[in-house]
Amino acid sequence: MGIQYRKSRDDLRQAAESHRLAPMMRALKALHSVSQPDAITHEELEHQRRSQELLGRLAGSHVGTLWEEFTIGGMNAAWMRLKAPHGDRHAILYCHGGGYTSGNLGYSKVLASKLTRATGYDALCFDYRLAPEHHYPAALDDAIRAWDYLMLLGYGADQVVLAGDSAGGNLALALCHRLRAKGRRLPGAILLMSPWTDMTMQGSSYRERADLDPMLTAEYITAVRDAYAGDASLHSPLLSPLFGDFSGFPPVLIQVGDHEILYSDSEALYHKLKQQGVPCRFEVGQDMWHVFQMFPTKKASEAIASAARFLLEQRF
């Protein structure tokens, strides 16, 4: 009887959580949908951008934080800070996801607030230019602008945590590759949530996990990739960071859900980082979907807490 009771109670909890998350799951699914694999229509693009804004409002909880908007050379940006003063001289540069075709400051609030509350670090968010209006390397150029702004404020490179989800993870890694190519110092640590690392889509999970993934499709990935990359080589480390040289990179935390078609992108990155001697941790959310850390669930909270512990362990 006791076992049956616990099982029934767990089933009820799961059903209640599924009901509570349903609006957010619908918004996320709408965000990652296209009618055909080789193009995004104007209507679909507007729908995706509205869905992402909605998702930010549904999933966001900013208790205990302050949101301060400003501009960096005409680019919209914002700080997410704790209301209580803390005096920590570290900062997070957060690169939002959205397939390089959607995303804005409102969407950035969700994970920025979670990371700020967990770490105490101020988080800088920025509105990089989006495709198809702005092709590669527009987003990367904007990321450099945000990085340079932090350096002008007096942050040391090793005092900055570079964080990104999905396409934002791609952008974070591409930013590191470009910084090193220019002979500049790299951030103190990198946090990646469901990062998109291989625009050639060679990973087996694109096929093997297609039926498991409740959000992403290969058609969506193809459409947003082509919208951003244009005619540029998909093997460039600035588009597919997986193909770059990672020697000398700072410690990296990779978190991914096991129900994602992008699972291979994270797994392959982890193995390459380890092969090249980069300190790296690979965490898999069981039964989880793309960027599950965004949602108000227990597993999301555990993942964010793990990210904060990872940074504390680096002592940078």
Catalytic sites, residue numbers: 166, 260, 290
Mention every residue, 6+ apart, whose C-beta is less than 8 A from residue 25: 214, 215
DSSP 134-189: S-TTHHHHHHHHHHHHHHHTT--GGGEEEEEETHHHHHHHHHHHHHHHTTPPPPSE
Mention every residue, 6+ apart, whose C-beta is less than 8 A from residue 190: 161, 162, 163, 172, 173, 176, 249, 250, 251, 252, 253
Q: How far is CA 270 from CA 142, 173, 253, 258, 263, in A?
A: 27, 13, 9, 15, 11
Structure tokens given for 271: 């193995």
Residue 244: DSSP 8-state? S
Sign, CA torsion 209/210/215/217:
positive
Q: Which amino acid is at 75?
A: M
Owner of token pair 């680019």: 75
- Residue 170: how many other CB atoms lie within 10 Å: 31
Sign, CA torsion 244/245/246/248:
negative
φ and ψ at 114, to 5 degrees?
-65, -45
Query: What is the SS3 assignment for 74?
Result: coil
